[in-house]
Structure 1
Amino acid sequence: MPRVARVKNDFSIYHIMVRSISEIDLFKEREDKLKYFSLIKKYQLKYQFKIYSYCLMDNHGHLLLDCNGADISRIMHSINFCYAQYYNRKYKRHGHVFQDRFKSKIVDTDEYLAMVSAYIHNNPKDIVNTKQEILDYEFSSLREYIKSSNTYEILNKNFLSDILGLFSEYNFRSYIRLVLKCEDYDEELDVEFVNEGTEYRGLREVLMRNKEPIKVIEFVCKHGKFEKNHVYVKHNRKYTHIRALSCFLMSCFCNITQKKICKVIGNITQSRVSELSSLGLYLAFNDDKYKNIINDFLLSS
């Protein structure tokens, strides 16, 4: 039977659930959960998506994810594919790690956002003995909201906090009550969040991914002080960085496939585009020369 097409929208917020196949735990050790968080962080840099809530259990995980103009399937495929490679290599096995595709559901109202987030944060209830342990669970973002921290550097707390007014002690206590009794995200929202007149700062600004590839190449060459034709030169290490950054930015902001990038760059394989994009990602976030290139590009366009 053919798969049902996934309902998706590049401007949406999603409740994402990933689950392992029945015979294995998705996260056998603490290190595995940390690895999954590190992959979220890596691809967050590339796709610029936002995480509003998360919880990782042993055999499944939940994310409240704002794709911020990017393709949700690309985001999750990148994360899960790399994690499956890591998992099979570490545990000396072959085959599938995840159960079918990831599950996704669009979150389209503030009320539903509150319920999904509470449901995600209530997930540890079946493995802990007290309510306090739910609040302290290491791999849930609830602890980060409580402690005003961001341990794994992937969480955006402002949007949910502004929507629900969590900067107010009354509203935060109301949210904790909601978490502790939330058994299903389709339940009615039956707690009250009061508006205390604070400034609303949670408006979403979604990145547009419709940049023209030629504009990317022109920007990168100008930024690196190269001629535009240099990006098309193969087998010359002098131009590898501008080729890598061009591939990386096109994959981020032009909403085109690797196959299309091959045609733009000319006479290059998809595997080479993937290698160059990975190098471009590394350069953009680790080389001081290029550390502002994403912001500069967005401002220029």
Structure 2
Amino acid sequence: MSRSRLHFTPRRPRLVLLHVLLHVIHRGVNRAAIFIDDEGRHHYRRVLREPCLENDIVVHAFVLMDNHAPLLLTPPRPEALTVAMRVVGQSYVQFLNYRHGRTGTLWQGGFKSCLVESDRYALMVCRYIELNPVRTVMVALSEEYRGSSVHSRP
């Protein structure tokens, strides 16, 4: 009987360009809920704020949906995003597991990211993120959804 060997291909490094925004998505495994209540959303915002400040990452937009968290970010260096998102992911999982008496993974792999290469596309991504609760018929107006950066606008 022959044994098959698993071969793991290392993940390619993320493409991060200076001063180019990134559309980042943290998604629950199997699209399961990552936010069970408003306290979870508040905690995610807290654990997102600190590593972003420490790594000089600008948060332009976010919305904390039930099963995913799309973000629009500008990291100053390639490694800053990876460091910050690792802290966010680990801190939030520990919080959620403890608070709800659960164990195991929460995230569907690592976070996903893609470059936002133009101002026009950046505006589209920002609108897509902040209108997510309206599109999914959770609220009639984006301002009605508490877990969104729409409340952070001047």
TM over 0.5: yes
Q: 1:29: which partner in 2? A: 37
In 2, Cα distance between equivalents of 1:37 and 1:142: 13
Q: Deviations over 1:95-123 (max 9, x none)?
A: 11111111100111111111111111110
In structure 2, relative to structure 1, the CA distance for the partners of 1:56 and 1:108 (3 Å cut) is same
Q: How many residues align?
A: 144
Q: 1:93: which partner in 2? A: 102
Q: Map of 1:1-301 to 2, 5 A cutoff?
A: 2=9, 4-9=11-16, 11=18, 12-22=20-30, 24-69=32-77, 71=79, 72-125=81-134, 126-130=136-140, 133-145=141-153, 148=154
On the 8 A contact 1:49/1:70 being kept in 2, the answer is: no
**Partner SS for 1:83:** helix
Q: Which structure features the higher share of strand residues?
A: 2
On the 8 A contact 1:136/1:143 being kept in 2, the answer is: no
In 1, Cα distance between equivalents of 2:66 and 2:31: 12
In structure 2, relative to structure 1, the CA distance for the partners of 1:53 and 1:23 (3 Å cut) is closer
Larger Rg: 1
- Matching residue's letter, 2:120: E
Instruction: Identify the structure with bigger relative contact order (alpha carbons < 8 Å, sequence gap 6+).
Output: 2
**Partner SS for 1:51:** strand
Q: Which structure features the higher share of helix residues?
A: 1
Q: Deviations over 1:218-275 (max 9, x none)?
A: xxxxxxxxxxxxxxxxxxxxxxxxxxxxxxxxxxxxxxxxxxxxxxxxxxxxxxxxxx
In structure 2, relative to structure 1, the CA distance for the partners of 1:95 and 1:129 (3 Å cut) is closer
Note the residue ranges of structure 1 that are not aligned, 5 or more in a row.
149-301
In structure 2, relative to structure 1, the CA distance for the partners of 1:141 and 1:129 (3 Å cut) is closer
In structure 2, relative to structure 1, the CA distance for the partners of 1:35 and 1:129 (3 Å cut) is closer
In 2, Cα distance between equivalents of 1:23 and 1:76: 19
Q: CA offset at residue 60 of structure 1?
A: 0.7
Note the residue ranges of structure 2 that are not aligned, 5 or more in a row.
1-7
Q: Deviations over 1:112-171 (max 9, x none)?
A: 1111111111100213352xx2232111112332xx2xxxxxxxxxxxxxxxxxxxxxxx
On the 8 A contact 1:18/1:62 being kept in 2, the answer is: yes
In 2, Cα distance between equivalents of 1:128 and 1:104: 25
Q: CA offset at residue 46 of structure 1?
A: 1.5
Structure-1-length-normalised TM-score:
0.45
In structure 2, relative to structure 1, the CA distance for the partners of 1:34 and 1:129 (3 Å cut) is closer
On the 8 A contact 2:133/2:139 being kept in 1, the answer is: no
- 4+ residue runs of structure 1 moved beyond 4 angstroms? none
**Partner SS for 1:101:** coil
Report percent identity of matched pairs: 25
Q: Deviations over 1:35-56 (max 9, x none)?
A: 0000111112321211011111
Q: Deviations over 1:68-101 (max 9, x none)?
A: 2252111111111111111111122221111111
In 2, Cα distance between equivalents of 1:14 and 1:29: 27
Structure-2-length-normalised TM-score:
0.84
